[in-house]
Structure 1
Amino acid sequence: MSGADRLATIALCWRVERRDGVAIGLTAHDRDLTIDGLTHRAAPGMTPSAVVRAAGLEADTMDVSGPLTSAAIGAADLLAGRWDGARVRVFAVDWSDGTTVAELGEGRIGAVELAEGGFTAELAGATAALERPVAETTTPECRAELGDQRCRVMLAARRRFARVVAAEGATLTLDRAEPAGNAYGDGLLRWFGGSLGGLEAAIARSDGATVTLRTPPAVAVAAGTLVELIEGCDKSFATCAQRFGNAANFRGEPHLPGVDLLTRYPGS
């Protein structure tokens, strides 16, 4: 087969794997293709931008845009955050035999912009991880996450289920009160029903039977929706010692003098 004939049988494909385990395949070809056991549905409007790659350590970037016409990717799911952080692999195949011709890029979905009848998703390549800090800096707050291997607080008794009685903006009223003042502040809420089922939301604060999320839900929350509430921590030494009795595992430096010590006048 000549080079011109081979180019005539090339089609772009996308394999998208969400963090909850759902995987879909899309192709710019005019009919569905089965590749590695996954059916890639025809989505002719899906187009990738030019892949920006560098010889150094700069992060590789690429945008993928397409119409919101596929049953697999809808505006509601994008707004709800179901596709945030999804792993995307973009590659070219020979649709005549299903063989992979070239790997065009791989990354995770970052920012998503919705436009008239379509969307654009930014993909960050593997080298984007090199931009993250690799060494810890001293902080007065704890750098561990509540319940992780460094914190060691057992969360089994600090998780509770409740049902939503009413929802107004970012504030939810539940059918049971918190065990202590602001127990769920800086904690996590997991949706177990409704259109948000399977997603998580950060809690800003709680007061009695109400919790306030950091951002309002992307879709309306129906009364009776089941949620799981996980206690939070403000990462202060006082909270660690008094509320959790876990001062021995505090991962911060609350008593280390800060740079303000250099600005003090003698005798002040």
Structure 2
Amino acid sequence: MSRAIDNILREHLIETVTTLATCWRVTRTDGVVVGFTSHDSSIEAGGLVFKASGVSQTDTAATMGLDVDTTEVHGLIDDEDGVPEQVLNKLYDGAKIDVFELNYKNPPAEITETSVIWVKSGVVGDAIRERGAWVIEARTLTDLLRQSNSVKTSRLCRAEFGDHNCRADLSQYRKSGFITGYSGRVVSINIPNLGVNDARRGLLELSNGVKFDIDSNTADRLTLTEPPAFDPTGLNGVVTFGCNKWITDCQKYNNMLNYYGEPYVPDSDDWVAGFFNTVNL
């Protein structure tokens, strides 16, 4: 990462008083680029508006070798900017993040290698909502070296339910209803003929666009993985059934030909048992 700066920024830095603000540029996995700043008002730089929403970050230290450095970026929840819903919809997971400082009184028209002070680049590990704020965990790019990019054999299906590998038609496994109440993670919903745990590991999408992962369900209640931050009572909801990724789920959905796993590959215990059985022959 370049540490060189242009003459305009260099002249500002030698002044007695500087006016620097930290900015975070996040390129989400859907291609949308958003910006945040630690300044008390929004900054426009390089054609992007860096929003001021009480953003701050925890301390971080650079380490030698291939260790992954992490830091957390915190921002106050503002329902108008849509970030809380975007965090819940996992749009920030795996996003690219760039951290830099600029002169907020004279922001550059273009963000280049020398027009700002580059601090760090990385990827978003986890993005969550926590106590009235959204929290993004930023990891250095060396984290990519620790990720597996090849296909491994597994007894569990590696496909996501309904994707191009699974090929299940999710329109056949959706049911609609309306929310009649909630308490914590448990949402009461009026859906006819909903079987017990039909929606386990499934998805609830409300009519306001907010989505929730489903942990389990009964005939009229859904247990979500995390509680709603608002009262969903009265909203319509669409429940998409889930898949536990075992071969029995493919049998249930009549989709065994597209099972994206190896359910009968012996595990390490089977290999050891087979070896000793061979020795004893």
Does the pair score TM above 0.5?
A: yes
Structure 2 spans left out of the alignment, 5+ residues: 1-10, 109-114
The structural deviation recorded for 1:179 is: 4.8
CA root-mean-square deviation: 3.9
Relative to 1, partners in 2 of residues 1:211 and 1:118: Cα closer, same or farther, differing over 3 Å? closer
Query: Would you say the 8 A contact 1:24–1:72 is kept in 2?
Result: no
**Pair 1:219 & 2:234 matched:** no
The structural deviation recorded for 1:163 is: 1.2
Report the Cα distance in structure 1 between the residues aligned to 2:106 and 2:100, rounded to whole angstroms.
Answer: 15
The structural deviation recorded for 1:230 is: 0.9
Aligned to 1:244: 253
The structural deviation recorded for 1:147 is: 0.7
Counterpart amino acid of residue 217 in structure 1: P
Aligned residue-pair number: 254
The structural deviation recorded for 1:62 is: 2.9
Aligned to 1:177: 192
Percent sequence identity is: 25
**Pair 1:110 & 2:126 matched:** yes
The structural deviation recorded for 1:186 is: 1.6
Query: Secondary structure, in 3 states, of the residue corresponding to 1:5?
Result: coil
Report the Cα distance in structure 1 between the residues aligned to 2:55 and 2:204, rounded to whole angstroms.
Answer: 36
Kindly provide the CA deviation profile for residues 99-157 of structure 1, in whole angstroms up to 9, marking residues without a partner as x. Answer: 23222223326366968x98875312333233222334332221211111111111122
Report the Cα distance in structure 1 between the residues aligned to 2:51 and 2:97, rounded to whole angstroms.
Answer: 15
Query: Would you say the 8 A contact 1:178–1:184 is kept in 2?
Result: no
Aligned to 2:214: 203
Report the Cα distance in structure 2 between the residues aligned to 1:161 and 1:57, rounded to whole angstroms.
Answer: 48
The structural deviation recorded for 1:35 is: 1.0
Counterpart amino acid of residue 251 in structure 1: Y
Query: Would you say the 8 A contact 1:87–1:109 is kept in 2?
Result: no
Aligned to 2:148: 133
The structural deviation recorded for 1:224 is: 0.9
Counterpart amino acid of residue 126 in structure 2: G
For 1:154, which of 169, 176, 181 is the aligned residue?
Answer: 169
Aligned to 2:240: 230
Query: Would you say the 8 A contact 2:73–2:135 is kept in 1?
Result: yes
Aligned to 1:258: 267
Aligned to 2:21: 11
Kindly provide the CA deviation profile for residues 37-59 of structure 1, in whole angstroms up to 9, marking residues without a partner as x. Answer: 334356788456345254x4433
Report the Cα distance in structure 2 between the residues aligned to 1:92 and 1:2, rounded to whole angstroms.
Answer: 12
For 2:201, which of 186, 199, 202 is the aligned residue?
Answer: 186
